[in-house]
């Protein structure tokens, strides 16, 4: 029997191996929006780069919740005061 079929050579066994299922960054750049809450959510997306696929859902749900909260906060900002009383009419009915 030949030794060439006994197993991988020593250099290959000790060297780094490529695991296609290992987490790998996508390299997607995230530009700042100028809104601190939104920027924090977008930065959180980078956490998924270091997780296995089954860990992404937690990050995505957290980011979605944060972005939804930021949008809701925009609706809660006080706007101009609502008009009070009945609308006035320039038409005189007398």
Q: What is the DSSP letter of 30?
A: -
Q: Does the model's pTM come out above 0.85?
A: no
pLDDT in tens, the chain (94 residues): 555 555 555 545 565 677 766 777 777 788 899 999 999 999 998 888 888 888 889 999 999 999 999 999 988 777 677 677 766 666 666 6
- Cβ atoms 70, 37 nearer than 8 A: yes
Question: Are the CB atoms for 31 and 39 separated by under 8 Å?
Answer: no
């Amino acid at each position: 029997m030949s030794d060439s079929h006994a197993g991988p050579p020593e250099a290959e066994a000790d060297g780094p191996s490529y695991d296609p299922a290992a987490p790998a960054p996508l390299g997607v750049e995230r530009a700042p929006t100028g809104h601190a809450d939104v920027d924090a959510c977008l930065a959180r997306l980078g956490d998924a780069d270091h997780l296995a696929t089954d860990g992404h859902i937690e990050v995505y749900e957290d980011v979605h919740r944060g972005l939804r909260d930021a949008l809701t906060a925009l609706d809660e900002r006080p706007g101009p005061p609502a008009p009070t009383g009945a609308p006035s009419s320039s038409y005189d009915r007398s």
